[in-house]
Amino acid sequence: MNYEEKMENEQPKQDRFLNDIANHSMSIVRDDGVYRHLVFSNNGSSVFRFELITWPGYLAYTGDMGAFVFSRLNDMFEFFRNGRGEINPSYWAEKVVAENRHDGIEKFSIDEFRENVLGSTRSHLSLTDDEEIPEEIMEEIEPLLSAEDWIDAICSIRDFRSDKIDFNDWWEFNNNRYSYSFIWCCRALVWAIDTYDAFKKGQE
């Protein structure tokens, strides 16, 4: 099995997000300077519904996909505007002051673990990213690549034994990726603020 081809991106692409909110519209509960309360939903449905609440120095995002609170500028809408519709998860994550209880900014990713195993294996064998790992080595690391969750991954790499490679540095692996809900939130922020700006411009 080609595990590098098997790996999937666990984060929502822009087209997936746009499909999720295809029928969403905005309702304004409050719009008083930096004091805002906006609701985005499909005719009031709770599916993918979310709200943005801002007050001086803060923005709270809450809804079907979770909750995050950000703090950086007096008007947090200014912080998330970039004019390009792009998200900046790494920088925005630094400004989170509260996050989901169960599915926060980052979470363990089995795909990230597999990438680390393959990368460390190549490093031990002095292989470039373009070079294939020998079949006999792939057979040795098969139990690691077959791990299905965090406990499985830890147990398999802890018990791994080989005369050709080792994973003594596995504690240094960063096996986390931004969670699905955090990336969805980032996309929602850009889309929602663009929607709000377009509405305000239409009122001029």
**All structural domains of the chain with their residue ranges:** 11-101+179-202, 108-177
Per-residue pLDDT of the chain (204 residues; tens, 9 = 90+): 343 433 444 789 999 999 999 999 999 999 999 999 999 999 999 999 999 999 999 999 999 999 999 999 999 999 999 777 899 999 999 999 999 877 899 988 899 999 999 999 999 899 998 899 999 999 999 999 999 888 999 899 889 998 888 888 787 888 889 999 999 999 999 999 999 999 999 987
Closest CA to 95 of 182, 15, 188, 20: 182
Please report the pLDDT score of residue 100 as a whole number.
85
Please report the pLDDT score of residue 118 as a whole number.
94
Tokens at 104, concatenated:
């926060």
| Residue pointed to by tokens 């400004």 | 95
| Angstrom distance (rounded) from CA 50 to CA 41 | 7
Tokens at 147, concatenated:
């791990």
- What does pTM read for this prediction? 0.79
DSSP reduced 3-state for 89: helix
DSSP reduced 3-state for 90: helix
Please report the pLDDT score of residue 7 as a whole number.
40
Q: Are 185 and 68 in contact (CB under 8 A)?
A: yes
